[in-house]
Amino acid sequence: MSDGKLLTGGGRILERWAGSSMQKKVAVLQSNYIPWKGYFDLIRSVDAFVFYDDVQYTRQDWRNRNMIKTAQGGQWLTIAVKGGFGQLINEVQVSNPNWAEKHWKSIAMNYRRASCFSEMETRIRTLYEQAAGLTHLSHINQLLIAGLCPLLGVHTPLYRSEELGQVEGRNERLIHLCQRLQASDYLSGPAASCYLDQAAFAAAGVGLSYMSYEGYHEYPQLYGEFQHAVSVIDLLFNTGADAPAFMERRGS
């Protein structure tokens, strides 16, 4: 994978949906670094997922960091970046080219005793080796997410928002992305309920609903009290091929 390309499913989904009366659901979200299982659950809940990385980069957020469990408690893995203030997410570059090697050493040290570490080690380590050669945070995040999806039984086509055109306005941009992908419904993360305009979506003929992250089952986890809000690699190293079952939610 080069620094500027991501295999996303191309235009096939547009061709498949053209002229179809079936319901099509889309989600749009900024890329995060090795995000938690709920991020991947959102992706698998829709027919197409859009990385929303041509928007403002936010510091002290999930864009460039996430948490793993260790014997000493939670540990942040952070990709140091250049600047970031005033930049779009897809403009932000990493400042330390050795980040991937350091992160993998921390991951291997803390998960080597996990029951499925040997099962997942090569596949996840290979993703880190591929990501190590990239200069832009957005491309790193997208490569890792795209590579982890199959391990979680997630096969939703992935797109970049900058490749689908732009319009002005927060709600208008999201509606445009839905229309560009010929979607009938938009599935949002729950935090966006404070600013999304349901009337605007309805006027455009796009249904609006919100993802629930309630009801996930616990799984065998190292290092004390169970925590849901850690990187999905915790789930993969602890449950291996059974990981998709632990993204099921009670009552869903």
**CA separation for the pair 30, 7 (Å, rounded):** 17
Report in angstroms the alpha-carbon separations of 79 from 70, 102, 172, 226, 240: 18, 10, 32, 25, 26
Residue 2 lies in a domain: no
Residue 4 within a domain: no
The answer to whether residue 12 sits within a structural domain is no
**Band of residue 85 on the pLDDT scale cut at 50, 70, 90:** confident
Instruction: Say what the pLDDT of residue 4 is.
Output: 38
Q: Taking the C-alpha atoms of 76, 80, 81 and 83 in order, what is their torsion angle to the nearest 10 degrees?
A: 90
Nearest to 78 by CA among 93, 66, 60, 94: 66
Domain span holding position 63: 22-241
pLDDT interval class at 247 (50, 70, 90) = very high
Q: What whole-number percentage of the chain has pLDDT above 90?
A: 85
pLDDT for the residue numbered 252 = 59
Residue 76 exposed, middle or buried by CB count within 10 Å (0-12, 13-18, 19+): exposed
* Tokens representing residue 224 in the block: 């004390």
Distance CA 157, CA 6 (A): 11
How many whole angstroms separate alpha carbon 221 and alpha carbon 71? 11
Task: Name residues whose C-beta falls within 8 Å of residue 221's C-beta, 6 or more positions apart in sequence.
Answer: 69, 227, 234, 238
Model confidence pLDDT, tens digit, residues 168-180: 999 999 999 999 9
Q: Decide if 212 is inside a domain.
A: yes
Give the per-residue pLDDT at 14. 42
Q: Does residue 3 form part of some domain?
A: no
Asked if the model's pLDDT at residue 20 lies above 80, the reply is no
Examine residue 129 and state whether it is found in any structural domain, yes or no. yes
Question: Cα torsion at 137, 141, 143, 146 (round to 10°)?
Answer: -160
- At 224-237, the pLDDT tens digits run 999 999 999 999 99
Residue 130 has pLDDT above 60, yes or no: yes
Among the ranges given (12-26, 70-84, 119-133), the one the predictor scored with the smallest mean pLDDT: 12-26
| Residue 83 confidence (pLDDT) | 84
Q: What are 155-203's pLDDT values in tens digits?
A: 999 999 999 998 999 999 999 999 999 999 999 999 998 999 999 999 9
- pLDDT-based confidence at residue 43 (cuts at 50, 70, 90): very high
Asked whether residue 145 is assigned to any structural domain, the reply reads: yes
Residue 79: the pLDDT is 98
Q: How far is the CA of 39 from the CAs of 17, 36, 65, 138, in angstroms?
A: 24, 6, 14, 16
d(CA 30, CA 167) in angstroms, rounded, equals 17
Handedness of CA 94, 2, 153, 178 (dihedral sign): positive
Given a cut of 70, is residue 6 above it in pLDDT?
Answer: no
Both tokens of residue 79?
């990709």
The residue among 28, 29, 10 whose CA lies nearest residue 206 is: 28
251 pLDDT band, cuts 50/70/90, is: low
Number of structural domains found in the chain: 1
Q: For position 3, what pLDDT does the model report? A: 42
What band does 1 get if pLDDT is binned at 50, 70 and 90? very low
Q: Which amino acid is at 123?
A: R
pLDDT at 138 over 90: yes
Is 10 domain-assigned? no
Q: Is residue 214's pLDDT more than 90? A: yes
Amino acid 121: pLDDT? 98
Angle, CA 46 vertex, CA 41 and CA 47 arms, to 5°:
140
